[in-house]
Structure 1
Amino acid sequence: MSHANAVLAPAGRLRLARLIVDEGWPLRRAAERFGVGVTTAARWACRYREAGAAGMADRSSRPRVNPNRTRARVERRVVSLRVSRRWGPARIAAQLRLNRSTVQAILRRYGCPPLRWTDPGTGVRIKTSRAATNRYEAATPGDLVHMDVKKLGRIPDGGGHRIHGPAQGKRNRAGKGHGYAFIHSVVDDHTRMAYSEILSDERKDTVTAFWTRAHAWFQGAGIEVKAVMTDNGNGYRSHLFRDALGPIRHIRTRPYRPQTNGKVERLNRTLLQEWAYARAYRSETERTAAFAPWLHHYNHHRTHTAINGTPASRVPNLPSHNT
């Protein structure tokens, strides 16, 4: 784009073209008058004849055809994965063996908004702030782990509303005996390695026993835990849990600020989308059986967008039995 006060700004081009076209000046004389070449003067005169004053505006230098553009079939696969699975650019790039920047360009070209600007359930764009979020990350594995519990309604035998429709869902809520499953999880801040179990409650003895097993699992993976972050649940504030931590530092989040423990909250959302509600299960037993394979996939094969790789890839000297 030319400078506003340049000799051949749009207004100067118009004066030059009018001298040639309207007043009949020779090309060479008009070119000398404005200090430009004859070819340049001829170009603006031609534009003026074709489009009038509107033809004096700057035109895009973008090529009409890009021979290196990604094939339309691949672009459709990128958009399909974004819409059907709600994946980000990093995961789509890993799945289709493309560069992340290529996937981002395709999503922008087709007008796909960032996932954080859309409703998780419907995918409809919602009004959100575009302000950048402040991210933090522990320097090394084990410096900080996040711990939390997610309560999940059990599926009745034969399936619930996802198979039989809303009427069955209402009957399930009105009935008794289904109850809830409690998914206890610990996530390492640096690597995003996760250990989870599906348990029957969140009492202090259950929470403490789960932490003991989780701690041993992280040690087996070569991660020495130095600090644990939890919310202010009763089980985490108990003396029993405090004694189980021993010398490990215990950090509690501020009340009503779950985003402080955001990495495990993000795990909770991911497991709901990709495991708990990923398909219609016909029983709680069927869904529970699918949990361990999904968790292994999450740790060792699923590309994590925040670290541009798998959690296991960030663990130095990970023992072979964990892969």
Structure 2
Amino acid sequence: MQRYRAVLDVFEGAPVVEVARRNGVARQTVHDWLRRYANDGGLGGLADRSSRPASCPHQMSAQLEAMIVAMRRAHPAWGPDRISWQLERNGVESVPGRSSIYRALLRHGLVEATKRKRRRDDYRRWERGRSMELWQMDVMGRVHLADGQEMKLVTGIDDHSRFAVCAKLVGRATARPVCVALLDAMRQHGVPEQILTDNGKVFTARFGLGPGPVMFDKLCNDNGIKHLLTAPYSPTTTGKIERLHKTIRAEFRTEHDRRHASVEDVQSALDEWVVEYNT
């Protein structure tokens, strides 16, 4: 055994420099072999060692993995992002990353292996530094009642905390019901500094033919809110509200009846869902 012979050579009086040269290693390596021979059990201390660390600070505990699995089974529509967010809200320290949660779900057969999509080189994630600095608002369609009637949903989310501030059903997404939804949200949660929306005509006259600002713009101005608009054809700017829409479609429509008897039934179920989402 090369290492043992090298140690014996040193013990017999050969210079460490010469032993290192004959064995084609650095002097520090020979010193390391001597230390291991003396401190780690003689010949056994010279055996090859695994490069794996004795402990991995990022390794998921069995308890945390069980918690993740339980969340997924209780809420089949929850993905890694939603589970990570919920763990943080539940006060879990050192919440694992999305990929670690995905692998845990994969180990238990709760997700299917998928090919990773390559992120665009010019993608940049951004968020505001504190709550109530910016809300994102939008209108979501295709909410159906038992009689086939289609409703709209006025939605709002805090850009920093991801807190859902608005989920109000309306028959038509016209100026008055959208503004009433915003007023209700402000009464309940306070007035944000800024609101970001797309360029829909219910939010702005930017591309319209009207003589002046629309009701939503006026409401923002009256309450000292700066109304920000996305650049045309840039849906990623309002990515957080789009993510909320995706979550509502997946979770609300999965965990509640897909068809409801009345607007009141739908709104009541939505209100309950929002409370759970925010807690």
TM-score between the two structures when normalised by the length of structure 1: 0.57
Whether 2:36 is the aligned partner of 1:59: answer no
Structure 2 counterpart of 1:229, one-letter code: L
Which residue in 2 is equivalent to 1:225? 192
Whether 2:175 is the aligned partner of 1:181: answer no
Aligned equivalents of 1:154, 1:79: Cα separation in 2: 32
Which residue in 2 is equivalent to 1:170? none
- Equivalent of 2:65 in 65, 75, 86: 75
The change in CA–CA distance for 1:59 and 1:256 in structure 2 (over 3 A counts) is same
Structure 2 counterpart of 1:283, one-letter code: H
Aligned equivalents of 1:39, 1:150: Cα separation in 2: 68
Aligned equivalents of 1:112, 1:124: Cα separation in 2: 12
What is the CA distance between 1:38 and its match in structure 2? 5.2
> Identity across aligned pairs (percent)?
18
Aligned equivalents of 2:181, 2:98: Cα separation in 1: 44
Aligned equivalents of 1:105, 1:18: Cα separation in 2: 47
Would you say the 8 A contact 1:27–1:38 is kept in 2? no
The change in CA–CA distance for 1:195 and 1:62 in structure 2 (over 3 A counts) is same
Aligned equivalents of 2:97, 2:155: Cα separation in 1: 35
Whether 2:245 is the aligned partner of 1:268: answer yes
The change in CA–CA distance for 1:138 and 1:27 in structure 2 (over 3 A counts) is closer
Aligned equivalents of 1:93, 1:139: Cα separation in 2: 17
Which residue in 1 is equivalent to 2:167? 196
Cα offsets for 1:37-78 (capped at 9, x unmatched) = 75646889946997xxxx4xx5336338x9xx9864553333
The change in CA–CA distance for 1:228 and 1:90 in structure 2 (over 3 A counts) is closer
SS at match of 2:199: coil
- Equivalent of 1:277 in 254, 259, 264: 254
Structure 1 counterpart of 2:243, one-letter code: R
Which residue in 2 is equivalent to 1:5? none
The change in CA–CA distance for 1:276 and 1:31 in structure 2 (over 3 A counts) is farther
Whether 2:87 is the aligned partner of 1:92: answer yes
Would you say the 8 A contact 2:129–2:160 is kept in 1? yes
Give the count of matched residue pairs.
240
- 1:242-321 aligned within 5 A: 242-247=217-222, 248-281=225-258, 283-285=260-262, 286-299=265-278, 301=279
Would you say the 8 A contact 1:230–1:252 is kept in 2? yes
RMSD over aligned CA atoms reads: 4.2
Would you say the 8 A contact 2:197–2:228 is kept in 1? yes
What is the CA distance between 1:293 and its match in structure 2? 1.6
- 1:145-224 aligned within 5 A: 145-156=135-146, 178-191=148-161, 192-211=163-182, 213-214=183-184, 217-221=185-189, 223-224=190-191
Aligned equivalents of 1:154, 1:112: Cα separation in 2: 35
Aligned equivalents of 1:112, 1:203: Cα separation in 2: 45
Would you say the 8 A contact 2:155–2:167 is kept in 1? yes
Which residue in 1 is equivalent to 2:100? 108
What is the CA distance between 1:108 and its match in structure 2? 3.3
TM-score between the two structures when normalised by the length of structure 2: 0.64
Whether 2:7 is the aligned partner of 1:28: answer no
Which residue in 2 is equivalent to 1:10? none
Structure 2 counterpart of 1:270, one-letter code: T
What is the CA distance between 1:150 and its match in structure 2? 0.5
Which residue in 2 is equivalent to 1:161? none
What is the CA distance between 1:186 and its match in structure 2? 2.6
Gaps of 5+ in 1: 1-12, 115-121, 157-176, 302-323
Aligned equivalents of 1:109, 1:46: Cα separation in 2: 42
Aligned equivalents of 1:208, 1:106: Cα separation in 2: 36
Structure 1 counterpart of 2:152, one-letter code: F
The change in CA–CA distance for 1:148 and 1:60 in structure 2 (over 3 A counts) is same
The change in CA–CA distance for 1:27 and 1:237 in structure 2 (over 3 A counts) is same
Cα offsets for 1:63-98 (capped at 9, x unmatched) = 38x9xx986455333334357432433423554x64
The change in CA–CA distance for 1:296 and 1:251 in structure 2 (over 3 A counts) is same
Aligned equivalents of 1:92, 1:208: Cα separation in 2: 34
